[in-house]
Amino acid sequence: MIKNLTKVGNSQAIILDRSLLEMMGLKENGKVQITVSNGSLVVTPVTPRVLDSDFDDAVEKVIEERSEVLKKLAQ
């Protein structure tokens, strides 16, 4: 994918398309780590995305079913 640099104030920006953000698991205003490796810019999400969409549902179910135990453990 080839992108153009876009002037923003005194800086240059790379505009990331929604599809690219989704592939990286990023949302609007998400945080990224930017590094340079062998002359290439590497953009990595700070918060890794959950690959399995069922994972969130499973966590919610455990929290719901075990809320009393989790509250006691938190004390």
CATH number where 10 lies: 2.10.260.10
- Cα–Cα–Cα angle for 41, 42, 43, nearest 5°? 120
Indicate the pTM of the whole model: 0.55
Question: Mean pLDDT by 10-residue block, N- to C-terminus, for the chain (75 residues)?
Answer: 94 92 87 94 84 77 89 85
pLDDT of residue 51: 63
> How many domains are contained in the chain?
1
- Give the residue numbers spanning the domain of 55: 5-74
Do 49 and 24 touch, CB atoms closer than 8 A?
A: yes
